[in-house]
Structure 1
Amino acid sequence: MAEPQHIRGPSVTSRALSILGAFEGSSGNLTVARIAARANLPLSTTYRMVHELEEWGGLRKGSDGKYQVGFRIWELGQMAGRRLRDRAHPFLQDLFDLTHENVHLAIREGTQSLYVDKIYSSRKMPQVSRIGGRLPLHATAVGRVLLGAQPDWFVDAYLQRELEAPTTKTVTDPRILTQLIGDVRRDGYSVTIEQMRMNALSVAMPVVFNGQTVAALGLVFEAFRYREVQRFMPQLRGTVDRIEVAMAGRPVHIGE
């Protein structure tokens, strides 16, 4: 008679990752009890591992006793897309100086847009994206640009998922989204209005390197200013061109 296989519990690594994953989508400040609940781990285990992660620098305890992601994790996260960000940032700054609007740069990570750089405007706009943050592909202009760059089988599989609707105006109908993604592929840019936040409009274009879309560059401003989209197109297009030249390793003079 064969011996029953030993059923192993979660590894130390998976438990540590579950604890760090508990902060995804949160406000960033969590009690140990809340971390345990979100990570689906026993409270005693969570206490021990949170303390170890704090000593390593992965978590940081605030004066209120709640925890947030530590600087060491943030520093590691900054390594993702660093070459792209380093090459692109001076041109994002130029675009911001020209438009005085929120500027951001995103890449695709799985089924989400990962924001690798952003310059904030002083305008009172609802801030949804943040450096290192992730948002759904279908609900942002940069996301639709990145989604439109994928093969049809990927787009079809993505649209068959249950799509979240951050606002009452977020498009989640696969048939409509298929048409909108087709428009992005045809026009070379995407415009979304009140898809992630009410009163917010975003416009984005692809950044292409070696024939592949590697990122999307976008602007965000108030939705009631939708007539100004075309006014920003030359600046957005010019910035994308300069980033692509810099990515190819050719010299670009800042401010030219």
Structure 2
Amino acid sequence: MEDSDTVLGKALGILRAFGPADSVLPLAELVRRTGLAKGSVHRVAGDLVHHRLLDKTEHGYRLSGGLFELGMRAAAERTLLEVAMPFLQDLYERTHETVHLGVREGHEVVYVAKIGGHRQARTPSRPGGRMPLHCTAIGKVLLAHAGEEERTAVLTAPLERRTPHTVIAPGLLRRQLVKAVETGVAYEREESTPGLLCVAAPVLAPDGETAVAAVSVTGPVGRFRPESHANAVRAAATALGGTLARRRP
């Protein structure tokens, strides 16, 4: 949590007040969400506008393109995305289902890329968005290849039940993680979102154990069979991992 006593903390609080569905937020709503004084929000928001991190409109404030520019300068994610995109596109052409690339940050998946066509499944994921590790296929496979300390931290923390199918029993989830290491893939069956199925595979570091990212294919219940795409997802993740290893300095 940001320190709201500092200017930087207030600025981050304002920027993070915007949710995925927010286009424009009025000043009063920013005050409500941040808990800051109206004068502070007005002053800091003005500085953010000056530095192109916010835009001022007649209805309030919106996130500016300057944030996108800064985000694209994040070296690790940019390099990963540049290298991964051909593999993600190939995987989409093979499956014609929604394809994701994600990395682990703490107890969450951060989605780096998402590719989907006209019949893509309606998923809540978005590039730059986050989901809990324990209820997503990408999250499970990333957690399976994390260190024991990281796994234990997730398994001993409260596991949010996002749907009636979410696995919240630590013992069952641990068995799924063990199987993910053995088979090279992890599955999600309506655990993060009703109606969605998913299969994911890890992009392994040169040590063959640590996952630097993960790739998945998602589709709707009814026509999508995640097991039938396991080999394609594994192949894409393995090829991406090999390419990343060759590009290391």
Same fold (TM over 0.5): yes
Q: Percent identity?
A: 33
1:104 corresponds to: 100
Higher mean alpha-carbon deviation, 22-31 vs 192-201, is at 22-31
Asked if 1:199 corresponds to 2:192, the answer is: no
Q: Judging changes above 3 Å, is the alpha-carbon distance between structure 1 residues 27 and 134 closer, same or farther for their aligned structure 2 residues?
A: same
Higher mean alpha-carbon deviation, 52-61 vs 103-112, is at 52-61
Alignment deviations for residues 57-114 of structure 1 (CA, whole Å, 9 cap, x no partner): 1123456x14332211122223341111111101111111111111110011111111
| Residue type at the aligned position of 1:85 | L
Cα distance in 2, alignment partners of residues 77 and 139 from structure 1: 26
| Residue type at the aligned position of 1:18 | G
2:222 corresponds to: 224
Cα distance in 2, alignment partners of residues 22 and 162 from structure 1: 25
Alignment deviations for residues 3-36 of structure 1 (CA, whole Å, 9 cap, x no partner): xxxxx97111111111112125654542222222
SS at match of 1:165: coil
2:118 corresponds to: 122
1:4 corresponds to: none
SS at match of 1:72: helix
2:135 corresponds to: 139
| Residue type at the aligned position of 1:244 | G
Shift of 1:124: 5.2
1:248 corresponds to: 245
How do 1:82-97 and structure 2 match up within 5 A?
Answer: 82-97=78-93
- Conserved 8 A contact 1:96-1:102: yes
| Residue type at the aligned position of 2:70 | L
Q: In structure 1, which of residues 62, 75, 82 is the aligned counterpart of residue 69 of structure 2?
A: 75
Q: Which has the larger radius of gyration?
A: 1
Higher mean alpha-carbon deviation, 16-25 vs 39-48, is at 16-25
Shift of 1:213: 0.9
SS at match of 2:246: coil
SS at match of 1:123: coil
Cα distance in 2, alignment partners of residues 75 and 35 from structure 1: 23
**Structure 1 unaligned residues grouped into runs of 5+:** 1-7, 251-256
Q: Considering only aligned residues, what root-mean-square deviation do their CA atoms show, in Å?
A: 2.1
Asked if 1:154 corresponds to 2:131, the answer is: no
TM-score for both structures, normalised by structure 1: 0.86
Cα distance in 2, alignment partners of residues 62 and 148 from structure 1: 46
Cα distance in 1, alignment partners of residues 164 and 62 from structure 2: 31
Once superposed, which parts of structure 1, at least 4 consecutive aligned residues long, lie more than 4 Å away?
Answer: none
**Structure 2 unaligned residues grouped into runs of 5+:** none
Alignment deviations for residues 226-254 of structure 1 (CA, whole Å, 9 cap, x no partner): 5x22321222122122212221237xxxx
| Residue type at the aligned position of 2:236 | T
Shift of 1:151: 1.8
